[in-house]
Structure 1
Amino acid sequence: MNPLRSLHTISRASGDGPVDWTAVGAAAKDATTPGSVELSEAEIEGYRGDVRAARRSIREVAAVSFDLPETVEIQNRHHWIDANVSTFRRVMAPVEAHTDVVFPDVSRVLNTGSTTLMLSFLGRNVLGQYDPLLLAEGDAKHALYFVHPNIRRVAAELDVDEERFRRWIAFHEVAHAAEFGAAPWLSNYLESGMERGVEALANGSFDREAFRELDAAMTAVEGYAELIMDRAFDDEYADLREKVDQRRRGRGPLARLMRRLLGLGLKRRQYERGKAFFETVADARGIEGASVVWESPETLPTSEELDDPAEWLARVD
C-alpha cells in the first residue's frame, strides 16, 4: 500500500473525460493492500465444494434451473478493483458524455479522487460478488468472485469459523446466480432501467419512475437471494447474521459515512424489505410460488406490491 503514490496519481489525473479511469484503478490499488491468495489445495477445493453444494441445494430448494457462471474467481483486493473499474466506467459513461464543467481539470481530479475512495473502500470490504456485467458490450459472460483476504479477515474479526463463513457467502452469491439464470431477461431489464435513469440525470432531470422500478427489481433480487440462501444453507446461520449486523452497527463514523454515500444502507433495506415479501409469499405458495417472480418482467412485484404481498399474489394467480 502506498497512499502518497495514490494521492500523486489522483493529482495528475488527465484525459478528456470527467474521470481518469486509468488513474482510478492505479490509485485505488495503491490505497489498498492486496492481501494474499496463496491458498492450499484444501482451501481451493473448499471453495469448489462450497459452490457445488450451493448450486445443488439451491436447485433443489428453489426448483429453478440455472448454471454457474463460466468465470468463478478467488480474488485478492486488487483483482476485485481491476474487475470493477470497468463496471463503474460503464455505468458512468452516459453521465460523462453529457457533463460540462467550468474547470474541467480541477473537476477531473476531484471526480477521480472520490471514485478512487469508493473503490478502495469497497475493495477492502466486499466478501463475494455475483457480477452480471451489466451494460457490457459484446457477448460478456457473468462472473462470480470471492475476495479471499476479506473473507479471512472478517471471519477472524467476527470470531467465527472461516470455512463455515466462506460457505455462507458462497450460498448467497450462488443464489444470485440462480436468479439471473432463471430469468434470462433480467440483465436487459436492469440495463434498460439504469440507462433511463442515468440518461435523465445526465440531462439534468430525475426519472422517478425508472428509479422506482429499479429499486423494486433490486429489492426482489436481494430479497429472493436472502430467502433462498437461508432455506438452502446446510448449517445454522443465525449467529453469522447477528455478528455481521453487529459489526455493521459498530463501525466508526467514517465507515458509516462511506456506507451512506455508497448506498449500502439502501441495500440493507432492500434485503430486509425483499425478504419480508418473499417470506410471506413462500409461506402462502411455497418456494415454487415465490419463484414465479422470475417468469417475466411482468411478474416482478411493483414497489407497492412489495409492501402488500397479497396484492402481488392476487395479480399473478
Structure 2
Amino acid sequence: MDTAPADRVPQPVDWAFAARTAAALAPAGPRFTAREAAREAAGLRAAAEASVPHVHRLTGLAAAEDLRDSQVLVVDRPTWSASATQSFATMLEPTFAHLQATRPQEYQAALTPVARHATALEMGGILAWLSGKVLGQYDPFAGPSGGRLLLNAPSVAQVRTEINVDPEDFRLWVCLHEQTHRVQFAAAPWLRGHLQEQITALASGLFDKAESLPERLRSALAAANPLGRGSGAGAASTGPASGPDDGRPGPAQAGGDVVPARGAGLLGALQDEEDRARLSHVTAVMSLLEGHANVVMDGVDADVVSSVKTIRRRFEDRADRRSPLDRMLRRLLGMDAKMAQYRDGQRFVSAAVAELGMDGFNVVWDAPELLPTEDELHRPERWTARVRAQA
C-alpha cells in the first residue's frame, strides 16, 4: 500500500515513516498457518457480504442495495496503520494548505526533517497500539469518491478467541456495524464533504490560536480523526471512520445535564465559542453514526446471529479485565470518550426510531440541517419535535 502519495502541500509529518514505525511496533496477533490465515480472511469477506442485506432490512436505506462505490479490504495490523496515515494526510491537507498560506514562516519550520520525523514517530507508536484494538473501520476519506471498509483480521480473530464465541457469528456481528457505516455515507453523499469541512475548520482554528505550531500538531492530529476508533461493536471510523472497539461504553449523562463535548483534551484550552460549537457538532454527528451502527448490530435476532446476546455481554465484559496501562492509554487517547459516543448515540437512535419509526428517523440522512445537535442527542424528543415541525 502506497503510504506517501504525492502531496500538493508539503506536510509536517513524514507519513511513510509513521507507517513503517507502526508496522515495526504493531502487536504480533494470533499465530496462524497460511491456511488458517486464508480461512480467517475468507470468513470476513463472506460476513461482509452477508451483512449487507441485513443492514438494508434493519435500516430501510435503499443505499444498501448498491455499495459498489466503496471497497471492502481484509487487512493485517501494519496495513491498517498504513491506511490510517493515508487518511490523516487526506483529511489534513486543507488544514495544512491554510497554515502554509497564513503562517508561512512557522509552517516552514515545522517541515524540517527532525520535526517531521519526531511527529511521525509518535504517531507511529499510537497507530501501532490502536492497530491491536481496532476490529474494523470505514474510512470515508479514502479515494476520490467512495470510501473504504477495512476489516482487521488479526484483531477480529484475537478478540473472538478471547471471548470464546462462535467465529461466524462474531464476524457477522462486527461486519453489521461496519457495513452500516458504509451505508450511512452512501445514503448521505453530502456527509463526507460536511465532515471534511468541519474537521478543517476545527483543526485550522486550533492552529490559528496556537502560540507554537509544532507543539500543537499532535493534538490537532488527534482531533482530526473523530471516526478512527476501535470497532463498532462497542468502538471507526468513523475515520478514518469507525468500527467496534473492544471496550464498554461509558455513561451518557451526568446529573441529567448534557455532558460537554468529550475528548477535547488539549483542545479545550484553545477553543473559543465558535470552536466549541464546531466540536460539539462533530461530537453529535459521530455519536449519531456510531449509535446507529450499534442499533443495527444489536438489532439482529437469533435467526441471524444466534449468539448475539452472548457476544455483546462477553465483549463488554472484556473492559473489566484491562490492565492499568491499557486503561491509562485509553484515557490519554480519548477512547473512553469514544465509548460514550456509542452509548449516547444508541440511546438517541433507539428513542427517535421508537417515536418516528425507521422511515421517519431516516430523514436525518437528507441534509446537514437535519443532523441532531449535541443537546438533541441527549434529549431526542427535541430533535423529533424539530423534525416534525419541519415536515
Structure 2-normalised TM-score? 0.70
Task: Say if 2:296 is the partner of 1:228.
Answer: yes
Correspondence for 1:211: 279
Q: Which amino acid aligns with 2:360?
A: G
Cα distance, 1:230–1:257 mapped onto 2, change above 3 Å? same
**Which of residues 300, 310, 326 in structure 2 aligns to 1:255?**
326
Verify: 1:158 aligned to 2:196, yes or no.
no
Tell me if the contact between 1:37 and 1:149 (Cα under 8 Å) persists in the aligned partners.
Answer: no
Q: Deviations over 1:233-279 (max 9, x none)?
A: 62242222222222123211221222222221111111101111111
Match of 1:5 in 2: none
Preserved CA contact (<8 Å) 1:226 1:275: yes
Query: 2:178 maps to which residue?
Result: 173
Match of 1:128 in 2: 136
3-state DSSP of counterpart to 2:132: helix
Q: Is residue 2:381 matched to residue 1:310?
A: yes
Would the aligned equivalents of 2:15 and 2:89 in 1 still touch at CA under 8 Å? yes
> Structure 1 pair 226/277, CA: closer, same or farther in 2 (3 Å)?
same
Aligned residues: percent identity?
Answer: 31
Distance 1:305 1:178, change over 3 A: same
Instruction: Quote the Cα distance in structure 2 between the aligned partners of 1:291 and 1:37.
Output: 44
Residue by residue over 1:87-146, the C-alpha shift from the partner in whole angstroms, topping out at 9 and shown as x without a partner, is: 12334442675556699666545422321111101111111111111xx6x724311111
Q: Write the distance in 1 (CA, Å) between the matches of 2:34 and 2:277.
A: 47
1:187 to 176, 186, 192: 192
* Alpha-carbon distance between aligned partners in 1 of 2:34 and 2:147, rounded to the nearest angstrom: 25
Matched AA of 2:298: D
> How far apart are 1:47 and its partner, in Å?
2.7
Distance (Å, rounded) in 2 between the aligned partners of 1:37 and 1:151: 16
Q: Which residue of 1 aligns with 2:212?
A: none
**Paired residues of 2:12 and 2:111 also in contact (CA < 8 A):** no
Alignment of 1:68-147 (within 5 A): 68=67, 69-93=69-93, 94=95, 97=100, 107-133=115-141, 139-147=144-152
Number of residue pairs matched by the alignment: 299
> Among 371, 376, 386, which residue is 1:300 paired with?
371
- How far off is 1:191 after superposition? 0.7
Read off the aligned partner of 1:82 and give its amino acid letter.
A
- Which residue number corresponds to residue 342 of structure 2? 271
Give secondary structure in 1 for the equivalent of 2:61: coil
How well do the aligned residues superpose, as a CA RMSD in angstroms? 2.5
SS in 2 for 1:125: coil
Shift of 1:55: 0.9
Deviation at 1:162, TM superposition (A): 2.0
1:24 has 2:18 as partner: yes
Deviation per CA, 1:200-225, whole angstroms, max 9, x where unpaired? 01112521111111111111111111
Secondary structure of the 2:23 match is helix
Deviation at 1:38, TM superposition (A): 3.9
Mean Cα deviation higher: 104-113 or 63-72? 104-113
Q: 1:140 to 1:82 in 2, by over 3 A?
A: farther
Measure, in 2, the Cα distance between the counterparts of 1:210 and 1:290: 23
**1:37–1:79 CA distance, 2 compared to 1 (3 A):** farther
TM-score (normalised: structure 1): 0.85
The verdict on how the C-alpha distance between 1:39 and 1:105 changes in structure 2, with shifts beyond 3 A counting, is same
Counterparts of 2:185 and 2:325, CA distance in 1 = 34
Structure 2, unaligned runs of 5 or more = 1-9, 210-269
* Deviating more after overlay: 185-194 vs 49-58: 49-58
Aligned residue for 1:130, secondary structure, equals: strand
